[in-house]
Amino acid sequence: MKKAFDSNNPLNNLNEWEDDLLSRYPDPSEKKKEKDEFRNYVDSERVETVKEFYRINHTYQTYDFVCSKEEEFLKFNKKKMSIWEAVDFLNTLVDDSDPDIDLDQTQHLLQTSEAIRADGHPDWFVLTGFIHDLGKILCLFGEPQWAVVGDTFPVGCAYSDKIVYSEFFKENPDYTDERFNTKLGVYSENCGLDQVKMSWGHDEYLYQIMKNYLPDPALYMIRYHSFYSQHKENAYTHLMNEKDIEMFEWVKKFNPYDLYTKAPVRPDVQALLPYYKGLVAKYLPEKLKF
């Protein structure tokens, strides 16, 4: 039975956004496959739900909206949890309607981090793969999908036409606001992304939680892994400083692990748990404020 349409949550599940990413940025290794071997990323109903998702997202992600969400959530007074409690909490987001995969969040995160570990990267990189989506816990605090997932982008300056479905920004109040609709808006040339407010979602939220615990490359991966208009399209280089440009090489290195490791093979969670418990304990406190 088709679910009733929810104007705040048009996606059937959060994975539809990631499936849409794969249609825009397909895995190069899949190009040799026959057409019928590809997962169905062009299903008409899915395309329409993703399009509606971005219509809402682009209409309401304003500079003032981001400021209000920072004020609401960066007090970190929603819940105090260990990483393991947060992962268990996030597992309740598993949606049986996803036609491609039925792994819970623990297994999905392990697929990403185990691929990183198999390639011999530093342990902080492995940990980043394991925790990078934990900010989606915002859904469980009542946030609508459009304020949790989706491609991220700067607010407070003109919206680039390199952002997916950029035509929907015409309904955004900032689009015609003279403070925000120029190339630089409230910013200055090469001011650095740490001075730039990004659209609100799971990336920024988790970055703010982790910023005192992980090295800079890991923090950039977490904060900007959904900033496709820059790390794929180079649309906002004019706001970046030298450190940003250097660190975005790590973001680009992380991106394939984020996009292309989703598969139905279940990781052996119990066998892997001791390694990850030690890794989490090395870098993070026993409890974190969400």
pLDDT at residue 25 in the model: 84
pLDDT at residue 42 in the model: 53
- What is the Cα 80 distance to its own chain's centre? 22
Closest to 62 in 3D by CA, of 196, 128, 157:
157
pLDDT at residue 106 in the model: 81
- Identify the three-state secondary structure at position 12: coil
Cα–Cα distances in angstroms (integers) from residue 108 to residues 86, 93, 94, in the given order: 14, 12, 10
Q: What is the pTM of this model?
A: 0.89
pLDDT at residue 1 in the model: 37
- Cβ(168)–Cβ(151) below 8 Å: no
Q: What whole-number distance in Å separates Cα of residue 194 and Cα of residue 97?
A: 38
pLDDT at residue 37 in the model: 43
Each residue's pLDDT, cut to its tens digit, for the chain (290 residues) gives: 344 457 688 888 777 887 788 888 887 766 544 444 434 445 556 788 899 999 999 999 999 999 999 999 999 999 999 999 999 888 887 543 333 445 677 888 899 999 999 999 999 999 999 999 999 999 999 999 999 999 999 999 999 999 999 999 999 999 999 999 999 999 999 999 999 999 999 999 999 999 999 999 999 999 999 999 999 999 999 999 999 999 999 999 999 998 877 766 788 889 999 999 999 999 999 999 99
Task: Give residue limits of the domains in the chain.
Answer: 15-95+104-285
Angle between helices 216-224 and 123-131 (to 10 degrees): 20
pLDDT at residue 117 in the model: 96
